[in-house]
């Protein structure tokens, strides 16, 4: 969920900015195009100066930090500025082997990649860390980059809360009121700045960051939402790209942004939820949750019913339970720990479930900030249905076949139905044949967060792009992960610029290794889930 420049693409920039202008507004495209050019030239003239990271970033001494100023409003490039926080680990190889900066965004919207330089210590990233400065940053509104907030973090983290799979009319009215209040909170806190949190501005910021890093052309890797504004960047600045990786691609079709993409996502999570339950059933000798996917679902529903009546640890209600198990839809590294938590809870030990699903007060501010930026960007980017009747009709039908995530996805995005400022028309992502260097798309066939058809659509819109597919797998975010085949294609592209002709496939990475509780008690090695 992340520009001294060539400016031979001003016409493309103006055209794309026109597409993204709010309906009914005066055309700001020419001013914004000039603003990007001016901001990038200013950044290139005063390159970023890295030094010790502030304690607030909690980064090791091997990582350096800096800030890069970008205009709040590109139509007024000398007006108010946002200081983006940036992190870097310098390339560890010989000077002759250095290929510049590799900038990474993990998605969101609302996620920071300040942690990214730390992957230099991981074996999967060793060769890339030798050739590139690894650069992370917090996009506008995120963390210390002029943080956006829409709600008191303590209220945002309040638990336990409900998550009925078939919500009543009164529950829907309650959530509508909460969505309206949240949208009003965004407008009240951000004031006139709220309209500037958009994907197109994230792409413009990326070009200013490129210039500040002293890079004539950008080498960028975006995951999840990072692929979307990376694709917007490719539309606006095709001649500024050196190499670009789209890891777990969002469908960039303007008709999908963002209401329909969330419907597709809910359906895909249902398939991935079934994948998890099939795996648990295969290991019934370990978890004792049932010998079929339906049996495992029955075990899960028993737990959900119990925490509805009596929240686990006083904080884990059905909404917290669902959010915890949603992570198993993103990453199969969570499968063993989540299955263990269910198994233990049904045996009378709620501690693993409480540990995994309880809100963490220490992260409430960060979580609320991420959600605020997510909401602002997605609500600003595109028109959403303004009447709840449309949401109700579409999602009631969808929940009949995909109950696991559908309504929770609605509640997360519903503030966009009551958004208090004009919404944009999405950028029509595309590039002319030959306008881009080869770009690389990584996709898992059963990814739920960014369903696989989105990767096919992105490849269609970016001629010359190459798609690497992990077959029969669903982990979200493949780069540097468990699939050596995928990592091989990634390294060959970033280190040597080589790609297959058009498409290639990799066999799935191994399934998670279940470890019985008896083995754990005996002190044998255990599977430890992780997620970037």
Check: CB of residue 116 under 8 Å from CB of residue 87: yes
| Helices vs. strands in the chain: H and E counts, helices first | 19, 10
> Rounded distance, CA 236 to CA 64, Å?
30
- Cα dihedral 256, 261, 263, 269 sign: positive
Cα angle at 182 between 427 and 184, to 5 degrees? 85
Please report, for residues 89, 117, 121, 143, 362, the alpha-carbon distance to residue 60 in angstroms, rounded to integers and kept in the order given.
Answer: 10, 10, 11, 18, 20
Tell me, what's the pLDDT at 29?
66
Check: CB of residue 444 under 8 Å from CB of residue 475: yes
Catalytic (active-site) positions: 224, 447, 476
pTM: 0.92
pLDDT in tens, the chain (532 residues): 322 222 222 222 222 332 333 333 334 568 999 999 999 999 999 989 999 999 999 999 999 999 999 999 999 999 999 999 999 999 999 999 999 999 999 999 999 999 999 999 999 999 999 999 999 999 999 999 999 999 999 999 999 999 999 999 999 999 999 999 999 999 999 999 999 999 999 999 999 999 999 999 999 999 999 999 999 999 999 999 999 999 999 999 999 999 999 999 999 999 999 999 999 999 999 999 999 999 999 999 999 999 999 999 999 999 999 999 999 999 999 999 999 999 999 999 999 999 999 999 999 999 999 999 999 999 999 999 999 999 999 999 999 999 999 999 999 999 999 999 999 999 999 999 999 999 999 999 999 999 999 999 999 999 999 999 999 999 999 999 999 999 999 999 999 999 998 999 999 999 999 984 443 433 332 222 223 3
Q: Give the pairing type, strands 81-89 and 64-71.
A: antiparallel
> Rounded distance, CA 430 to CA 236, Å?
9
Q: What is the DSSP letter of 77?
A: T
Alpha-helical regions (H) of 119-224 = 126-131, 153-156, 169-190, 199-212
> Rounded distance, CA 53 to CA 61, Å?
8
Tell me, what's the pLDDT at 515?
81
Best CA proximity match to 245, nearest among 4, 420, 486, 80: 486
Strand order in the sheet with 241-247: 51-52, 64-71, 81-89, 132-137, 100-105, 218-223, 241-247, 440-444, 466-470, 503-506
Best CA proximity match to 492, nearest among 432, 427, 440: 440
SS3 434: coil
- Cα dihedral 13, 18, 21, 25 sign: positive
């Amino acid at each position: 969920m992340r520009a001294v420049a060539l400016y031979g693409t001003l016409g493309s920039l103006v055209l794309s900015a026109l597409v993204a202008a709010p309906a009914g507004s005066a055309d700001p495209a020419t001013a914004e195009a000039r603003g990007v050019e001016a901001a990038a030239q200013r950044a290139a003239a005063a390159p970023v100066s890295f030094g010790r990271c502030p304690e607030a970033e909690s980064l090791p001494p091997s990582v350096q930090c800096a800030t890069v100023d970008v205009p709040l409003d590109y139509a007024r490039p000398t007006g108010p500025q946002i200081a983006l926080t940036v992190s870097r680990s310098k390339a560890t190889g010989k000077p002759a082997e250095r290929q510049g900066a590799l900038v990474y965004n993990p998605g969101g919207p609302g996620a920071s990649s300040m942690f990214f330089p730390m992957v230099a210590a991981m074996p999967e990233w060793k060769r890339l860390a030798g050739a590139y400065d690894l650069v992370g940053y917090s996009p506008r509104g995120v963390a210390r980059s002029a943080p956006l907030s829409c709600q008191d973090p303590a209220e945002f983290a309040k638990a336990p809360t409900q998550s009925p799979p078939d919500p009543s009319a009164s529950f829907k009215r309650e959530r509508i009121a909460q969505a309206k209040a949240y949208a009003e909170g965004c407008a009240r806190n951000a004031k006139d700045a709220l309209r500037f949190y958009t994907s197109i501005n994230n792409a413009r910021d990326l070009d200013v960051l490129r210039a500040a890093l002293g890079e004539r052309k950008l080498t960028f890797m975006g995951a999840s939402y990072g692929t979307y504004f990376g694709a917007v960047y490719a539309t606006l600045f095709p001649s500024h790209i050196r190499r670009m990786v789209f890891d777990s691609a969002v469908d960039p079709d303007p008709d999908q942004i963002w209401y329909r993409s969330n419907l597709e996502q809910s359906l895909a999570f249902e398939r991935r939820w079934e994948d998890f339950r099939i795996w648990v059933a295969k290991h019934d000798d370990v978890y004792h949750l049932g010998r079929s996917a339906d049996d495992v679902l029955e075990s899960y529903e028993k737990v959900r019913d119990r925490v509805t009546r009596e929240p686990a640890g006083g904080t884990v209600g059905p909404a917290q339970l669902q959010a915890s198990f949603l992570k198993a839809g993103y990453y199969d590294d969570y499968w063993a720990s989540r299955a263990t938590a269910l198994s233990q809870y049904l045996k009378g030990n709620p501690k693993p479930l409480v540990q995994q699903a309880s809100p963490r007060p220490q992260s409430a501010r960060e979580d609320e900030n991420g959600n605020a930026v997510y909401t602002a960007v997605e609500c600003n980017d595109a028109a959403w249905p303004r009447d709840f009747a449309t949401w109700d009709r579409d999602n009631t039908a969808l929940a009949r076949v995909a109950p696991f995530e559908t309504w929770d996805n609605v509640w997360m995005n519903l503030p966009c139905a009551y958004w208090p400022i004009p919404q944009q028309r999405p950028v029509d992502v595309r590039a002319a044949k030959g306008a881009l260097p080869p770009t690389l798309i990584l996709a898992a066939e059963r990814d739920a967060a960014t369903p696989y058809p989105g990767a096919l659509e992105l490849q269609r819109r970016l001629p010359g792009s190459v798609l690497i597919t992990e077959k029969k797998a669903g982990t979200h975010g493949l780069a540097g992960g468990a699939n050596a085949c995928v990592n091989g294609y990634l390294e060959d592209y970033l280190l040597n610029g080589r790609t297959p002709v058009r498409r290639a496939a990799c066999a799935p990475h191994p399934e998670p290794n279940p470890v019985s509780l008896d083995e754990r008690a005996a002190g044998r090695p255990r599977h430890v889930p992780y997620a970037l």
